[in-house]
Amino acid sequence: MDTVLVTGGLGRSGRWIVDRLADDYDVICADLSQPGFEVPERPRIDFRAVDLTDRGEAFDLVSELDPDAVVHWAALPSPTRHAGGRVFETNTMATYNVLVAAARRNAKVVWASSESAYGFPFARETPLPDELPITENHPLRPEDPYGTSKVVGEELAKMVVRRYDVPVASIRPSWIQYPGEYGCRDRDDLREGRPLSELDLDAGVGNFWSYVDVRDVASLVAATLDAGFRGHEAFHAAAAENYLDVATLDAVEEQFGALPDDCDLDGDASALSTAKADRLLDWRPAHSWREAADESVTEPNLLAD
């Protein structure tokens, strides 16, 4: 594999993915804008400007580049900062256009689904999950346009697998954190080390206090590109533990007054299982809030120094 097209590559997490993949591939970074010809580019990174909701633009781009793989990371990331209809339409149309265009060129596909597909983060009232830890087989029950766009995207992924027989991986990241900037820990009750009964569990209950470091997201994308699976597979991108520094089941029981019947979780282990990625991709999260929350790491620069 030589060339990888990354959509949304200028986004906050997308640039970490481009930076990581440029170690091994020639990477085309596609976004709504590009830095211009007068800006020197890093070796192995090129840029394209494209509106992926425009089918002609998306198909032309993929056809011209003929990449070996496509990482589709472009999306409107939240139903709370844009009109719901715009979020749904943008995400579903861009995903259809990119996945179909990639599959027609026989390119391997990795794309950004979300933990929101389960329906927990933006639910009016967060329900108790069917199981803990939550596996990729848990039912998808979104109540919002963002999570629903990701469910539709996964159905599109299955469609192109059936029609074009290309492998597609749907990455379901948890709440993405950045070294030295861990918003999940930026709370007085956590910094002061209060007991469980005094923690604000409502804050973060939508994903059961899980998170993932952006560097682990990038390494999971890279591992998925290297893997030899067939068909469609979904994978969680999550840290090994919750960010509360208390036992996960204790926090769930404190918040909900009950636990799922299907329960097998020790200590502060994440509510999102990454056992599937470990089994199929030999991938495990490498970063924890305990070190990364105060870590000083320079953000990737996709341009030449």
**Domain assignment present for 98:** yes
Maximum CA extent, the chain: 60
**Domain assignment present for 229:** yes
Residue 269 and residue 241 in contact, taking contact as beta carbons nearer than 8 Å: yes
Q: What pairs with residue 28 in β-bridges?
A: 5, 46
| pLDDT for 193 | 81
Place of tokens 């002609």: 56
Q: Give the CATH number for residue 150.
A: 3.40.50.720
**Domain assignment present for 305:** no
Where residue 166 falls (left for φ over 0; alpha for ψ -120 to 50; beta otherwise) is beta
Residue 123 burial (CB < 10 Å; 0-12/13-18/19+)?
A: middle
| pLDDT for 1 | 60
Q: 261 by DSSP, 3-state: which?
A: coil
Q: How far apart are the first and last CA of the chain?
A: 27
Residues belonging to the chain = 305
Domain that holds residue 75: 3-292
- Secondary structure in 3-state letters for 43-85: CCEEEEECCCCCHHHHHHHHHHHCCCEEEECCCCCCCCCCCHH
**How many CB atoms neighbour CB 205 within 10 A?**
18
Q: Can you state the angle between helices 55-65 and 84-104, rounded to 10 degrees?
A: 30
**Domain assignment present for 105:** yes
pLDDT in tens, 239-274: 999 999 999 999 999 999 999 999 999 999 999 999
Residue 61 and residue 7 in contact, taking contact as beta carbons nearer than 8 Å: no
Q: 153 by DSSP, 3-state: which?
A: helix
| Integer Cα distance of 40 and 42 in angstroms | 7
Which regions in the chain score pLDDT beneath 50? Answer: none
| pLDDT for 182 | 98
pLDDT in tens, 25-35: 999 999 999 88
**Domain assignment present for 304:** no
| pLDDT for 231 | 97
**Domain assignment present for 301:** no
| Integer Cα distance of 254 and 98 in angstroms | 43
| pLDDT for 125 | 95
**How many CB atoms neighbour CB 305 within 10 A?**
5
| pLDDT for 38 | 65
Q: What is the pTM of this model?
A: 0.96
**Domain assignment present for 200:** yes
| pLDDT for 77 | 86
Number of structural domains, the chain? 1
| pLDDT for 304 | 79
**Domain assignment present for 121:** yes
**How many CB atoms neighbour CB 83 within 10 A?**
11
